[in-house]
Structure 1
Amino acid sequence: MVKRCLVVDDSKFWRMILHDILKKKSDLDVHFAENAVEAINLAFQVKPDVVITDYNMPGLSGLLLCMYLRSIEGFENVGIAILTGSDDVISAFWASKSGADRFISKMLQRQQLEEEILKFVSEEKFVCRLKESFLKRDVYWILESKMKNEILNREILKLIDFVRDEGYVLRKLRDLFLNFSPFAAMHSLVLSPVEGRIFSFGKEVNFDELKEKLVCHLEKPIQPSQWSFYPLKPIKIEPLSDLFVYTVKYSQNEVGALAFEEPEEIFNLTSALNDAKESLGLLFNALNVVKELTVQSSTDGLTNLLNKKALLANLEEIHARSKKDGNTYAVAIFDIDDFKKINDTYGHIVGDEVLKSMANLLKEKLREKALVGRYGGEEFVAIFPQVDENNLVKIINELLDKVRSFKFPFVEKCTVSCGVALGKNKQSALETLQEADQFLYIAKRSGKNQARFSFL
């Protein structure tokens, strides 16, 4: 079976030497090119099974030629040898990443050089499997495709600098992919063991419905400890349209998904997503790493709620936003009644179980309504970013009823007292917290197992 060989060298002298060496193999069909651009065009025509190229050439080097050929489907199993001269210095890193099968020195003795080259071209494993659909594509198409791919990936990787602001990063991704196809809305799922986050841009939708549609596209979805949805409180829920969902992977693990509603040019969008799959995986993994580190530094180890430091940071942020937007926020402090007696009677292990049960109750009842954390000991704090006073009273009272009827582990009965204050007209977040604490004290002194409100 005749093998096809492509020789690339800008030196006529070396083309003649290589011609003399290769003509000794009668089953070899040899073609020559004087530079990398000519070689790429010729490679699509002759479909070589082996390529022998000089390293140092004007324009594109042999190393770049190798990288370009390796990136084309069908050239993966072509044998590529790079010839190096006395002045050529190749980084070991780039040599390993180039895709070259062998580096052969031109400084070898003629007999040894001949043996090395003939041995290389005789290896049976080298074969070109280029499809016919590629034959009309020239080097300029390749270079343009590569340039577009690099620009797209560079734009995505630039977003890694902003991974602390997930909303900003995903909004920028939405803007980027709009360049490839118009679509009605984009929804993003970022998935890690500590938290699953869903972001919607362009439409406010039902959280549970969107979550179900996104998760069902994953083969082995991670089960996160909790879920978050942005925007927190959709104003006007709209029905979901048909979704085109793209799964984002990092090291074969599913780390998220991008869902597009009503994309007009699915082929262009799919091509862009596939070109960017590695960069998207890196970006989503970075989002998850930062989230996990943030959770570790801001989470109470026993209850998995926000710790005191994180609570106060969020409270300061919400207070500042309230002064700017004119919205009213509220702070509620919950204290487990007679908790010391529980510890003394049943022991601290049971006391810890009561704290965890209370944390789960608060998290479940106040999900999507408030930020909940453990303030210290048996005290918990809930911050409501936006409130309606009448509805807030109802929520708190229903929560206290839930606690009264709940069967805590090993404990016959457990109740809580609560103090609630509004952030309206407060000079600082701390002032709101202190007022809530004052009304908690009133609730305790009034018999416990009740809530007291600063606005009633």
Structure 2
Amino acid sequence: MKKVLVLDDSISWRIFLKKSLEQYGYDVEVAENGLEGINKFFDFLPDIIISDYVMPQMNGVHLCRFIRSYAAFSNVGIIILTGANESINEFWAKKSGANMFLRKDADPEELMNKIKEFIEDGNYSIEWTREFHKFRMEPFRELVDILEESLKMEVIKSSILNLVEKMDDEEHIMREIYLILEEFFNFENAFFMLISTSFGRMYSFSKDKNYSCSVLKDFLFSNFKKPTTPSEWIIKGMYDDAVSKVPDNYSVFNIEYNKIEQGLILFENVKNEHNMVYVMNMISETLGILFKTLNNFYDYKTAAENDGLTGLLNKKNILDKLKEFLITFRRKNYPLSIAMIDIDDFKKINDTYGHVTGDKVLKNIATIINSEMRENDFAGRFGGEEFLILMPGTSCIEAKKALERILESVRNYNWKDLGINLPVTFSAGVACNYQNKSATIFINTADKLLYRAKKKGKNRIIIEEE
């Protein structure tokens, strides 16, 4: 049974609407002004609101804006009734959040038919909210209470949105949100997860216990309804891989933007669930905007820095990274090796199986390189079928061993799954003597060693010290 809340300062209109709606089989409550209407709303939790435009203490548009400030009430249907001599500014009509405006001077039967059609066909409801606690435990006593509540909401929301200025330090943003939430309700631990196509990010803020990184990541990810699968993960916080259990007393809030999941927040051992539900529903839309912005930032940054086909760094960025290493490592005289890799007989693969299959070979080799590289190494697509790998803190001999693992994985990959019956291998040249060399000369050294590997029969690695 649909629940309908009628707000009107006219007793005759309250009686008429209540009686007519009850005849349709709806559960109806009434209120005679905006303040009483808001208190009735939080107590009754209706699916539909029918409100007079002009009322004592708070008009219909202000009431509608207040209700819409709670993301959980976004699917409540709202009709605003206007009198014959009342007009509403077109801008406010669009921004009010109301779903329909109807004139009171219409034929009563026609008016009720439109209201019934709106209720029956609009799919409006507050069902999601009923799964949780009622938001407000104490009623608003005066209009100033509502104004104070609105102000509090705006301050919290603006504080969260202002964090966008620190977009390049997402860990700082998550910590600030954690601290803001601590001001409103008590919990022991909080875990944040954001997901985009390029990166998934997990942040742990734990006061008394840690969980295994992989176990917690899988557990949080399982709480998404329709998750995007990221290409890579960034993990921040304290973890204990010896712990195999997952949180057992927790509440999860999925953060959405335009009904698409952007991330989630899990709270463990919450002391005051009423406050948690109230605050999280108050700010969920704002968090959705922030999380969406952060996800876009990661995706745009990845698109700007990475090669579109392989996902590795593009030529500009791998060169920039090498130049940074040369400046830093010269001061400390640290070892630095680079490897230039070229896929053997790649033209033959393209000519035999086509460029679509050739692209798949590039992508798969890039994936193998990524999976076999150490954490501090960097790989980029240098051009065509060439890749440049930077191995800071690595001697030529150590670099060769690392590349041999990659080459062995390429050799052993089941290329027949792609319909390729030719052997797929690569040749590589490794340079490690970078002192007094520019980035271009250092790369040229590796390129000459690569050429020597090709001349010696391909499918091999030549290092500078050989």
Instruction: Tell me if both proteins adopt one fold, taking TM over 0.5 as the criterion.
Output: yes
Q: Deviations over 1:370-413 (max 9, x none)?
A: 33332112211233466588765432222222233344343432
Structure 1 residue 420, shift from structure 2 partner: 3.4
Assess, with a 3 A threshold, how the Cα gap between structure 1 residues 238 and 331 changes in structure 2: closer, same or farther: farther
Displacement of 1:452 in angstroms is 3.9
Structure 1 residue 367, shift from structure 2 partner: 7.2
For 2:401, give the aligned amino acid.
K
Quote the residue 1:394 is aligned against. 401
Change (3 A) 1:61 1:312: farther
Contact residue 187 and residue 271 of structure 2 kept, 8 A: yes
Match of 2:183 in 1: 179
Match of 1:450 among 433, 440, 460: 460
Moved more, 348-357 or 420-429: 420-429
Residue number in structure 1 paired with 2:425: 415
Retained in 1: the 8 A contact 2:378–2:389? yes
Report the counterpart of residue 230 of structure 1 in structure 2.
Answer: 235
Q: Is the 8 A contact 1:199 1:231 kept in 2?
A: yes
Q: Which residue number in structure 1 is paired with residue 220 of structure 2?
A: 214
- CA–CA distance in structure 2, aligned partners of residues 312 and 382 of structure 1: 10
Q: CA deviation at 1:255?
A: 2.6
Could you tell me whether the CA contact under 8 Å between 1:241 and 1:262 is conserved in 2?
Answer: no
Quote the residue 2:91 is aligned against: 92
Counterpart residue type for residue 216 of structure 2:
L
2:203 to 200, 203, 217: 200
Structure 2 CA distance, aligned partners of 1:78 and 1:351? 57
For residues 129-174 of structure 1, the C-alpha deviation after alignment (integer angstroms, 9 at most, x for no partner) is: 9989767432444333333322222223334455455445434434
Per-residue CA deviations over 1:322-356 (Å, capped at 9, x if unaligned) read 68999866533212234445556666565444434
- Pick which of 215-224 and 179-188 moved more: 179-188
The more displaced of 249-258 and 172-181 is 172-181
Computing the radius of gyration from Cα coordinates, the structure with the larger value is: 1
How far, CA to CA, are the matches of 2:341 and 2:301 in structure 1?
25
CA contact (8 A) 1:51 1:80 kept: yes
SS in 1 for 2:218: helix
Seen in structure 2, the aligned counterparts of structure 1 residues 416 and 442 have a Cα distance that, compared at 3 Å, is: same
Which is worse superposed, 278-287 or 436-445?
A: 436-445
After TM superposition, the structure 1 = structure 2 runs for residues 227-266 of structure 1, keeping only pairs within 5 Å, are: 227-231=232-236, 239=243, 242-243=246-247, 244=250, 245-260=252-267
Rounded to whole Å, the distance in 1 between the matches of 2:32 and 2:336 is 76
| Deviations 1:62-86, CA, capped at 9 Å, x for gaps | 6324433676899967864355978
Partner of 1:67: 65
Closer, same or farther in 2 for the Cα pair 1:142/1:208, shift >3 Å?
same
Matched to 1:223, the amino acid is T
Distance change (3 Å), C-alpha of 1:238 and 1:257: farther
Distance (whole Å) between structure 1 residues aligned to residue 354 and residue 136 of structure 2: 75
CA contact (8 A) 1:333 1:419 kept: yes
Partner of 1:309: 316
2:160·2:286 contact (CA, 8 Å) conserved in 1?
A: yes
Cα separation, 1, equivalents of 2:203 and 2:435: 33
Q: Which amino acid aligns with 1:450?
A: R
Q: Separation in 2 of the partners of 1:102 and 1:344? A: 66
Hey, what does 1:153 align to over in structure 2? 157
Letter in 2 for 1:148: K
Q: How many residues are aligned here?
A: 426
**Identical positions, percent:** 27
Q: Secondary structure at the match of 1:248?
A: strand
Q: Distance in 1 between matches of 2:254 and 2:39?
A: 35
Higher mean alpha-carbon deviation, 118-127 vs 144-153, is at 118-127
For residues 47 and 297 of structure 1, the distance between their equivalents in structure 2, rounded to whole angstroms, comes to: 47
User: Are the equivalent residues in 1 in contact too, given 2:213–2:239 (CA < 8 A)?
Assistant: no
Find the counterpart in structure 2 of residue 11 from structure 1: none
Q: 1:144 to 1:116 in 2, by over 3 A?
A: farther
Question: 2:81 maps to what in 1?
Answer: 81
> Which residue matches 2:293?
286
Residue 418 of structure 1 aligns with an amino acid whose one-letter code is A
Distance 1:47 1:347 in 2: 62
Equivalent-residue separation in structure 1 for 2:53 and 2:16 (angstroms): 18
**TM-score, with structure 2 as normaliser:** 0.67
Specify the alignment match of 1:137 in structure 2.
140
User: What is the aligned partner in structure 2 of residue 12 from structure 1?
Assistant: none
